[in-house]
Structure 1
């Protein structure tokens, strides 16, 4: 009888714990939704999918046209490149990657963005298996990628881009941002290494070579910086003074699209206006 009583108590405890536990997460439908984030726990819908209106992105017209054209080809099922967007911080690499996908969605194209972190590279084959089952097209976006010296991840990524067993499926293209043109930093010691120094350099450059389209983003000139602010200000009904905008950039030690947007936030705050 004592054992029977214990069992009843244990069953009640188990029932209580089951009620307290959250229900298991339902698999995300990758065939619907505009954008997703993927990590160890699986895919999650990014809702709402916030991106800057592509027409507001200023000072990067060439990069914008080329990335939009490549993305449109991919969305239409035509041949398209994996893309490396490299260069100065805050000049719109990430914003443009997201904005082109959103622009195509507004046009009615069945394409979605899947964002993941660079520390998930080893697990990307599992994601590729999921995406390959879908009929729609995907842009796999990896922001601010970088590798520790001696890491095997650059070779892993090279394999995914071209020629490896874990190569990304045909309905997926990788859009990767980096502050460095060749992604992996080159060390001065390479020039002094007597053992095949050229091989070491070639091994590093081979990764960036896997991207069929490489778009450079450079620091904004003063005119570009003011043009960015002018367009943002017009879109949000704000008035600014040229010298005030330049002083804002001077205090931050740089001119970029990010600094320009931060100035717009400051300007809107001063005048008591919200920004959507």
Structure 2
């Protein structure tokens, strides 16, 4: 590699048009600084300071990654930047094939991809070979060949959507000319999306900060939720309609605590999100005032979004529900077609009512002159959810069936009568019968058994 190759690469990177956003990446900036130092033949101290900064960031990215590395660590990072970049081409590809894009745009994408391919051609091994050839007197062991990193695989579920990122990266790396891979890249953006919504499955909305990705969403799946088959079917059917672009309703899941309302919603992203377009946005009750901002940010994307509001209920003095009510129905700005609202609550009517609200007779001094109007206002929020799914506390036999199924899933082998007896003692000492209580019982039992504890005499009281 000659110095003029570094100079040409710097020039080409500086004139990136469509994928210019990759230059904002910290690792890419470190790479540019290093290449610039080599091209301009800076002092050895400056060059290796820049090298140290670049490798420090790359080591952290590669060794702490939970995803497989395609190519070497630097190539893998550049490929990730291409998949994650939100630009004119990637946004348009979410909706349309390249044949329906302008010729100038396609030509610029081709040139940008070829430049990024040149970046990937300077592998870490080649970079180390250059250092050893030109700075052999340093005799630094760090320049050994080959350069190898080992990511942290199998450390738990992650928020990355499926296997398609690895497939498209491998296809690009095997290609002689990335400029000819536009159809494959366009298809990837169409299926998976781009930017932050193409990278993660679940998000939290933070007032003042916006969308915060959830690196490790709850791994719960619909198969893990034992019982409540009719409730799961109702939610699943509505969600499938929504994901396929058909009319769908907002959903209210209400009922007793610990019955799986929230888990049902969180499981949907693993059922529809991996390899698909469904994304989950959790908005707290305090964040309801930001709902217009949330909707505006989501409306321009091809993904389908569930805005998830967990444990929704309001006291009499709280007025945030009016923001949600306007969004669901009745506001000047309509809810985008790619957004539905799923909420969970222990209250059917969401806004607290009192016996005075339903008192018969004339108004009491100092109270509402039109009490019926106030009552209608309070119960109207729940009416704006087209699908209402009820979760009730399981009876004893259903609770025990849940325990038995969870025990099978965990590989716990125990006399059925003994297991049932312990499960009943556990629920009496703890939170009553529910799917959550059953899960807590099994987790405690599994933990004690894994520690080698003899649980034969355990009564479950502590």
Under a length normalisation based on structure 2, what TM-score does the superposition of the two structures give? 0.51
1:66 counterpart residue number: 234
Q: Tell me the CA shift for residue 265 of structure 1.
A: 1.0
Q: State the SS of the aligned residue for 1:29.
A: helix
The whole-number CA distance in structure 1 between the counterparts of 2:358 and 2:304 is 43
4+ residue segments displaced more than 3 Å: none
8 A contact 2:291–2:323 mirrored in 1: no
Q: State the SS of the aligned residue for 2:196.
A: coil
Q: State the SS of the aligned residue for 2:344.
A: strand
8 A contact 1:140–1:175 mirrored in 2: yes
The whole-number CA distance in structure 1 between the counterparts of 2:224 and 2:198 is 29
- The answer to whether the aligner puts 1:267 opposite 2:267 as a matched pair is no
The whole-number CA distance in structure 1 between the counterparts of 2:330 and 2:198 is 27
Q: Flag the structure with higher strand content.
A: 1
- The answer to whether the aligner puts 1:84 opposite 2:248 as a matched pair is no
The answer for unaligned runs of 5 or more in structure 1 is 1-25
Indicate how the Cα distance of structure 1 residues 166 and 216 shifts in structure 2: closer, same or farther if over 3 A, else same: same
8 A contact 2:431–2:437 mirrored in 1: no
8 A contact 1:35–1:46 mirrored in 2: yes
| Aligned positions of 1:1-276 closer than 5 A | 29-40=196-207, 41-106=209-274, 108-192=275-359, 194=363, 195-240=369-414, 241-272=419-450
Q: Tell me the CA shift for residue 50 of structure 1.
A: 2.3
Indicate how the Cα distance of structure 1 residues 253 and 235 shifts in structure 2: closer, same or farther if over 3 A, else same: closer
The answer for unaligned runs of 5 or more in structure 2 is 1-84, 87-194, 364-368, 453-462
Q: Flag the structure with higher helix content.
A: 2
The whole-number CA distance in structure 1 between the counterparts of 2:286 and 2:315 is 11
Q: Tell me the CA shift for residue 217 of structure 1.
A: 0.6
Q: Tell me the CA shift for residue 116 of structure 1.
A: 1.6
8 A contact 1:31–1:134 mirrored in 2: no
The whole-number CA distance in structure 2 between the counterparts of 1:219 and 1:47 is 32
Count of equivalent residues? 248
The alignment yields a C-alpha RMSD, in angstroms, of 1.9
Q: Tell me the CA shift for residue 151 of structure 1.
A: 2.4
Q: Tell me the CA shift for residue 139 of structure 1.
A: 0.5
Under a length normalisation based on structure 1, what TM-score does the superposition of the two structures give? 0.85
Relative contact order, CA 8 A, sep 6+: which one is greater? 1
Q: Tell me the CA shift for residue 140 of structure 1.
A: 0.7
